[in-house]
Amino acid sequence: MPDSVDTLMESLQSCGVIAVLRAPSPEVALGAIDALVEGGITGIEVTFTTPDAPDVIRETIARYGSRVTVGAGTVTHPSQAIAAADAGAQFLVSPGTERILAESMLDTGALTLTGALTPTEVMLALGLGVHIIKIFPGSLGGPGYLKSLRGPFPEAQFMPTGGVDALNLGAWFDSGAVAVGAGGELVPAGALATNDMADITARAKLFVAALGVWRDGKVT
């Protein structure tokens, strides 16, 4: 039986940082995932721009099981949502919000995140029953923009992606993010191209440390 949406939501929030992975091959993707996990990042979004993304998801689950929360990103067609869910993806992420696609994502039972930037797009996503709204690209407005959106939409769950780094991570959470997506700042294309997995592990550790500082501050 698949996990409930509430359980999946808790898993994503526990990860805090979701690595957005756009790799040139399945082999490089799996190497990067190993590097991320070594650095402490356990939330993995394998985008459909990565060749054979469902196979990468399936192999990641085989390697790490419940140690990771793994999903599919750049979901742009219902067939991709189905393929990712069949591979075991726990969450599905689309860069935008479109009714038929969002409904197909929700129908899989996976935690569903669709992209939005404007209030109108947020309203559309909420109306469709999307679980988390991906604010993308977050770099356009920064943490202040997310905080502004929280005013009219206090019930919404937001995950900014784009423009998130280890230095501003705490500001995103202070502004109301339930998790953050990190792509190039965490898994840079250059490191993937040169197979520099040590760089990815080092970056992962910086993100994990920043998240720990923020969480410690909230506890105290």
Q: Which residues of the chain, if any, have pLDDT below 50?
A: 1
Number of domains in the chain: 1
Residue 220 lies in a domain: no
pLDDT in tens, 11-52: 999 999 999 999 999 999 999 999 999 999 999 999 999 999
- pLDDT of the residue at 2: 62
Query: Which residues span the domain enclosing 167?
Result: 5-213
Q: State pTM to two decimals.
A: 0.96
Measured between alpha carbons, how far is 116 from 56 in angstroms, rounded to an integer? Answer: 27
- pLDDT of the residue at 218: 81
Let me know: does 118 contact 138? Beta carbons within 8 Å: no
The CATH number of residue 20's host domain is 3.20.20.70
Residue 190 lies in a domain: yes
Type of residue found at 184: G
- pLDDT of the residue at 220: 55
Residue 20 lies in a domain: yes
Could you list the active site residues? Answer: 45, 134
Residue 218 lies in a domain: no
